[in-house]
């Protein structure tokens, strides 16, 4: 009995202490300045002409609780926080119950966040799971409860929560999904929308109707079990067939959300921005988006790829001189799939890896006329392992060919011979130097692009060639201001010289061989089919694997990379190879339309010499074909040149 009395005594003391601490905390929160919830976490995105193309949660679409259907309000409370009007921000019995359930099930299946807590989370930009973040959320929950009524908190929550597809707030969501105001939503529509925020990409009825219907049923069951609706109303809502609009009234570009997501991802890495919008009262984010170019890009994709096809695509358009990303598409339709393949996916890059290899070769004594024999070859490496690459269509010259010819045909044998001759680490080190961070394997096939690399990394690397040797950082955000116009962040367009300008000039000219008829011989240049459609000069390289097709090309003003393939890695059939080619062609030509065709000026350290293009030897009067090719001064070809196979054989026998 003594023990029980002592236990009760201490329990009472702890309970009283808990009440006193709570009273003190809430009193302190009450006397501090109230949070400005209507401006918190609001953000506006501007394009490069200072026009707004997106407004975040603090937008003009904020509506009062009276303007929201009672079905939405009832469904939200029943699903997210049935004791919302009874607690002071934290539902302690629910927290204890969820904790016990999670311990017993050894999972985190049960959550206990109240609407007030979730609203506090919505007022944050970053999503770091740190203890400081947790304490901040707890404190802002207390402040919300101290400063605002329950109706005001619920109103703020419904106006800021993410309903998927870039739709923040119930009014935006209602217009997007159903083309009507939030006040007009019926029970079935309300239950569908209320189910989305738990996992917007998973429960969107536009991208996954089956999952969305299951979630809608869960919401309706919660309402029925809490006697908020009758059995008859439950069944009618389940049976109602809903029609989805899936369009924004103000902005019809379905791909612009990929750019916005890239902006928000970059925003989370900028240290100058406070971890919460509560301290800033909203942000104005000025981006590098060229809306005209984005529109052209989306229209091109819709024109090139048939509607019935399930193949996916991604494209980045960037200024290589400063890293400004002008347009970006991470998929064919954000409403169908918000996965951003331009910045998040890593794919095999195929022969678009070869320019890195050939720059490294130029740096190590190769020239445009350096020759290897084009023939079937088996390579031996690492403890007698063998590798037998093939040229496309198994086409071989069975004779020595120049580096220029190898680039024109995208010769695999020449590439692997070069890779082996230089040593596998040479290509890896080269890729690292220009900004590629993905895992690269020191194997013969690396030269053929068997490693998986993101598109943003590839654009970073190629931009070093496009701007004659400088490494720049791709960026979407130019500057950020607070609501009063104070500049919080300004992009620093830093350039680091990492490559030799003379060699990049030579490589850029070599990459025009991919569509140059002078190289038609036993094979055809890989992009010869679009030569007549090019109105400007570009350095261009394509890449093809079983599952991926790439086109990356540039001049001094712009770099454009396009990829096509399937998310599940099924093979791309030959009739689909043209998609990446045509998207790239129309995109870069559209950007250059009306602009002057200015190619790179020859540096003083470079000379021009006429050669027989296929063999690379010095041209003579007897040669039918002559091609002007660039060399570092002093490295021009002689009448006879060494075939590098002989040197490679010596290396392998030593």
Q: Is residue 284 part of a domain?
A: no
Percent of the chain with pLDDT over 70: 81
Model confidence at 283: pLDDT above 90 = no
Residue 78's alpha-carbon distances to 69, 82, 85, 437, in angstroms, are 14, 5, 11, 47
Query: Does 166 share its domain with 304?
Result: no
The DSSP line for 62-122 is: ---GGGS-HHHHHHHHHHH-TTTTTSSS--HHHHHHHHHHHHHHTS-------HHHHHHHH
pLDDT score for 125: 44
Average pLDDT in the 271-298 region? Answer: 81
Q: Are residues 233 and 342 located together in one domain of the fold?
A: no
Q: Give the separation between CA 640 and CA 580, rounded to whole angstroms.
A: 40
Task: Report residue 538's pLDDT band, with 50, 70 and 90 as the boundaries.
Answer: very high
Q: Which domain holds residue 23?
A: 1-31
Over residues 240-251, the mean pLDDT reads 73
Give the tens place of pLDDT for each residue, 26-66. Answer: 554 455 655 555 555 567 889 999 988 876 654 446 789 99
Q: 526 lies in a domain?
A: yes
Residue 49 lies in a domain: no
User: Which of 11-25, 114-128, 452-466 shows the lowest per-residue confidence on average (mean pLDDT)?
Assistant: 11-25
With bands split at pLDDT 50, 70 and 90, how would you rate the model's confidence at 250? very low
Is the pLDDT higher at 2 or at 106?
A: 2
What totals of helices (H) and strands (E) does the chain contain, helices first?
A: 21, 20
Q: In whole angstroms, what is the distance from residue 362 CA to residue 507 CA?
A: 8
Alpha-carbon distance 587 to 181, whole Å?
Answer: 37
Nearest in space to 467 (alpha carbons), one of 435, 489, 491, 440 = 435
Would you say 135 and 127 are in contact if contact means Cβ atoms under 8 Å apart? no
Catalytic: which of 80, 266, 298, 478? Answer: 80
> Are 196 and 315 members of one domain?
no
Higher pLDDT, 151 or 11: 151
pLDDT score of 160: 84
Does residue 52 lie in a domain region?
Answer: no
Nearest-angstrom CA–CA distance, 620 and 639: 9
Residues 25 and 86 both lie in one domain: no
Range scoring the smallest mean pLDDT among 347-351, 552-556, 620-624: 620-624
Evaluate whether residue 86 is within a structural domain.
Answer: yes
The reply to whether 20 and 70 lie within a common domain is no
Is 70 exceeded by the pLDDT of residue 281?
A: no
Q: In this structure, how many other beta carbons lie within 10 angstroms of the beta carbon of residue 584?
A: 28
Span 633-648, average pLDDT: 74
- Specify whether 338 is located in the same domain as 484: yes
Say yes or no: 443 and 546 in one domain: yes
Predicted pLDDT at 578:
96
Asked if the model's pLDDT at residue 253 lies above 90, the reply is no
Q: Which of 59, 190, 204, 351 is catalytic?
A: 351
Give the mean pLDDT of the chain.
86
Domain membership of residue 45 (yes or no) is no
Give dist(CA 230, CA 568) in Å, integer. 44
| Same domain as 345, residue 213 | no
What is the structure's pLDDT at 116?
82
Residues 116 and 233 in one domain: yes
Contact 331, 563 (CB under 8 A): no
More confident residue, 520 or 18: 520
Only one residue has tokens 């200015």, namely 598
How many distinct structural domains can be found in the chain?
A: 3
| pLDDT at residue 148, rounded to an integer | 81
In this structure, what token pair is assigned to residue 49?
């002409």
Name the percent of the chain lying above pLDDT 90: 63
> pLDDT tens digit string along 353-371?
999 999 999 999 999 999 9
**Spatial distance between the Cα atoms of 583 and 298, rounded to a whole number of angstroms:** 10
The pLDDT assigned to 273 comes to 79
* Beta-ladder partners of 480: 285, 489
Residue that is written with structure tokens 């939030």 in the block: 182
Instruction: For the chain, give percent helix, strand, coil, nearest 5.
Output: 45, 15, 40
Q: Is 374 part of a structural domain of the chain?
A: yes
Q: How far is CA 589 from the centre of its chain?
A: 23
User: What digits encode the pLDDT tens for the residues 201-221?
Assistant: 789 998 889 999 999 999 999
- pTM summary value: 0.78
Mean per-residue pLDDT, 59-85: 86
Per the annotation, the verdict on 80 as an active-site residue is: yes
Instruction: Return the CATH number at 450.
Output: 3.40.710.10
pLDDT tens digit sequence for 446-473: 999 999 999 999 999 999 999 999 999 9
For range 553-578, the mean pLDDT: 96
Q: Is the pLDDT of residue 496 over 90?
A: yes
Residues 69 and 27 in one domain: no
- How confident is the model over 163-198, as pLDDT tens digits? 987 788 899 899 999 999 999 999 999 999 999 998
CATH number of the domain within which 91 lies: 1.10.3810.10
Answer yes or no: do 510 and 570 share one domain: yes
**Are 218 and 321 members of one domain?**
no
Domain membership of residue 212 (yes or no) is yes
Name the residue among 464, 451, 455, 472 with its Cα closest to residue 561. Answer: 455
Once rounded to an integer, what is the mean pLDDT over residues 617-633? 92
351 is catalytic: yes
Arithmetic mean of pLDDT, 247-251: 50
pLDDT at 478 over 90: yes
- Measured torsion, CA atoms of residues 505, 508, 510, 514, in degrees rounded to the nearest 10: -170
């Amino acid at each position: 009995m003594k023990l029980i009395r002592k236990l009760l005594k201490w329990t009472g003391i702890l309970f009283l202490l808990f009440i006193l601490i709570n009273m003190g905390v809430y009193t302190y929160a009450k006397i501090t300045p109230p949070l400005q919830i209507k401006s918190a976490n609001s953000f506006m995105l501007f394009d490069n002409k200072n026009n707004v193309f997106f407004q975040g949660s603090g937008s003009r679409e904020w509506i009062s609780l009276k303007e929201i259907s009672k079905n939405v309000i009832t469904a939200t409370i029943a699903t997210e926080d049935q004791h919302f009007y009874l607690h002071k921000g934290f539902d302690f019995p629910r927290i204890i119950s969820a904790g016990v359930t999670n311990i017993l099930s050894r999972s985190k299946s049960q959550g206990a966040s109240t609407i007030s807590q979730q609203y506090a989370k919505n007022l944050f930009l970053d999503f770091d799971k740190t203890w400081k973040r947790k304490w901040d959320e707890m404190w802002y929950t207390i402040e919300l409860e101290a400063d605002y009524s329950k109706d005001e908190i619920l109103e703020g929550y419904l106006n800021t929560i993410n309903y998927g597809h870039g739709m923040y707030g119930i009014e935006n969501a209602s217009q997007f999904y159903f083309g009507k105001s939030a006040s007009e939503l019926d029970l079935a529509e309300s239950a569908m929308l209320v189910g989305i925020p738990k996992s917007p990409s998973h429960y969107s009825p536009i991208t996954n109707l089956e999952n969305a219907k299951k979630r809608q049923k869960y919401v309706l069951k919660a309402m029925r079990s809490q006697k908020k609706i009758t059995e008859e109303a439950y069944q009618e809502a389940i049976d109602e067939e809903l029609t989805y609009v899936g369009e924004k009234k103000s902005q019809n570009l379905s791909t612009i959300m990929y750019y916005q997501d890239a902006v928000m991802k970059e925003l989370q890495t900028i240290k100058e921005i406070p971890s919460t919008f509560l301290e800033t009262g909203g942000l104005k984010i000025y981006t590098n988006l060229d809306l005209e170019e984005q529109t052209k890009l989306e229209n091109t994709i819709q024109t090139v790829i048939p509607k019935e096809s399930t193949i996916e695509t991604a494209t980045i358009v960037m200024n290589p001189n400063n890293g400004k990303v002008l347009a970006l598409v991470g998929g064919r339709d954000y409403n169908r799939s918000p996965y951003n393949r331009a910045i998040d996916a890593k794919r095999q890059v195929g022969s678009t890896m070869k320019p890195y290899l050939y720059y490294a070769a130029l740096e190590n004594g190769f020239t445009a006329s350096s020759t290897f024999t084009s023939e079937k070859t088996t390579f031996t490496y690492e403890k007698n392992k063998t590798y037998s690459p093939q040229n496309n269509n198994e086409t071989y010259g069975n004779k020595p060919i120049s580096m220029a010819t190898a680039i024109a045909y995208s010769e695999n044998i020449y590439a692997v011979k070069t890779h082996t001759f230089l040593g596998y680490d040479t290509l890896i080190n080269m890729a690292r130097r220009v900004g590629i961070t993905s895992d690269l394997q020191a194997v013969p096939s690396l030269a053929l692009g068997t490693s998986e690399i993101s598109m943003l990394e590839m654009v970073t690397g190629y931009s070093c060639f496009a701007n004659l040797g400088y490494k720049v950082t791709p960026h979407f955000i130019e500057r950020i201001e607070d609501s009063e116009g104070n500049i919080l962040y300004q992009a620093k367009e830093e350039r680091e010289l990492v490559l030799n300008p003379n060699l990049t000039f030579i490589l850029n000219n070599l990459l025009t061989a991919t569509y140059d008829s002078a190289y038609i011989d036993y094979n055809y240049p890989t992009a010869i089919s679009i030569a007549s459609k090019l109105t400007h000069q570009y350095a261009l390289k394509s890449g093809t694997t079983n599952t991926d097709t790439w086109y990356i090309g540039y001049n001094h003003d712009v770099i454009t990379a396009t990829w096509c393939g399937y998310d599940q890695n099924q093979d791309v059939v030959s009739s689909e190879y043209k998609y990446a080619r045509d998207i790239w062609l129309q995109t870069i030509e559209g950007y250059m339309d009306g602009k002057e065709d200015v190619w790179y000026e020859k540096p003083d350290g470079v000379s021009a010499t006429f050669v027989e293009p296929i063999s690379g030897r010095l041209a003579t009067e007897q040669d039918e074909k002559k091609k002007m090719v660039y060399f570092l001064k002093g490295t021009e070809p002689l009448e006879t040149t060494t075939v590098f196979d002989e040197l490679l054989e010596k290396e392998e026998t030593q």
